[in-house]
Amino acid sequence: MGFAFTLALLLITNPLDPMSFLQVQMEDRTVAIADRADYTLPTGGVSLVDVNRLQTMMEALAKLAYQEPINATINTSGGIVPEKKGRKLHEGKFLQQFYEYYYGNGASTVQIPFQEIYPKVDQALISQVRKKTIGQYTTYYNSRNKNRSHNILLASKAINNYVVLPGEIFSFNKVVGKRTKEKGYLQAPIIVRGELSEGIGGGICQVSSTLFNAVDKAGLHIVQRYSHSRDVAYVRPGRDATVSWYGPDFVFQNKYAYPIMIRAGSSNGSMYVSVHSFPEIEYEPRHVPSVHQSTPEEGPASPSILTEPTMP
d(CA 107, CA 20): 4
| Residues 133/149, Cβ–Cβ less than 8 Å | no
Residue 167 zone, left/alpha/beta (φ > 0; ψ -120 to 50; rest): left
Which residue blocks in 66-177 are alpha helix, DSSP H? Answer: 91-102, 123-129, 146-159, 172-176
Residue 39 phi/psi, 5-degree rounding, is: -105, 15
* Range with top average pLDDT, 156-170, 172-186, 229-243: 156-170
Nearest to residue 202, comparing CAs of 309, 107, 106, 299?
A: 299
Residue 195 pLDDT greater than 60, yes or no: no
* Mean pLDDT for the chain overall: 85
Give the domain ranges of the chain.
21-117, 130-277
Q: pLDDT tens for residues 31-66?
A: 999 998 889 888 766 778 999 999 999 999 999 999
Nearest to residue 188, comparing CAs of 231, 226, 155, 139?
A: 155
Cβ count within 10 A of residue 207: 29
Give residue 14's pLDDT: 37
CA distance to 111, 140, 179, 198, per residue, from 176 (Å)? 36, 20, 8, 20
Residue 198 pLDDT greater than 80, yes or no: no
Under DSSP, the state recorded for 181 is G
d(CA 211, CA 139): 10
* Range with top average pLDDT, 47-56, 220-229, 275-284: 275-284
d(CA 62, CA 66): 6
The percentage of residues in the chain with a pLDDT greater than 70, rounded to a whole number, is 83
Residue 127 pLDDT greater than 80, yes or no: yes
Beta-sheet pairing, 260-267 with 114-117: unpaired
Q: Which amino acid is at 215?
A: V
Q: pLDDT tens for residues 150-168?
A: 999 999 999 999 999 999 9
Q: Which amino acid is at 94?
A: F
Give residue 74's pLDDT: 95
